[in-house]
A = this chain, B = another copy of it.
Amino acid sequence: MNQKAIGIFDSGVGGLTVLRQIKRELPDESVVYFGDTARVPYGSKSAKTIERYCIENAIFLLEKNIKMLVVACNTASAYGINKLRRLFNIPVVGVIHPGAKAAVAVTKNKRIAVLATRATVASEVYPKAIHSIDPSIEVISQACPLLVPMIEERMGNHPAAALMIEEYLQRVKEKACDTILLGCTHYPLLHDEIKKALHPSVFIVDSATTCSKEVKEVLLELGLENRKGSSAETRYFVSDDPEKFRETGERFLNTPITEVLLEGIH
Contact = CB atoms under 8 A, between A and B. Distances in A.
A40 B39 CA distance: 7
Contacts of A160: 146, 160-161, 163-164, 167
Nearest to A52: B266
A46 interface: yes
Contacts of A145: 149, 153
Contact of A45 (B44, B159, B240): B240
B163 A159 contact: yes
A153 B146 contact: yes
A49 interface: yes
Contacts of A164: 155, 158, 160
A168 B147 CA distance: 18
A46 B149 contact: no
Number of copies: 2
A174 to B, nearest CB: 19
| Interface of A, helix, strand, loop or mixed by DSSP | loop
A150 B146 contact: yes
A117 to B, nearest CB: 11
Interface in A137-154: 145-146, 149-150, 152-153
A153 B143 CA distance: 11
Given A38-B39, A49-B266, A158 B163 contact: yes
Contacts of A167: 158, 160
Nearest to A238: B46
Contacts of A240: 45-46, 49
Nearest to A149: B149
Interface in A111-138: none
A44 B164 CA distance: 22
B158 A45 contact: no
A75 to B, nearest CB: 13
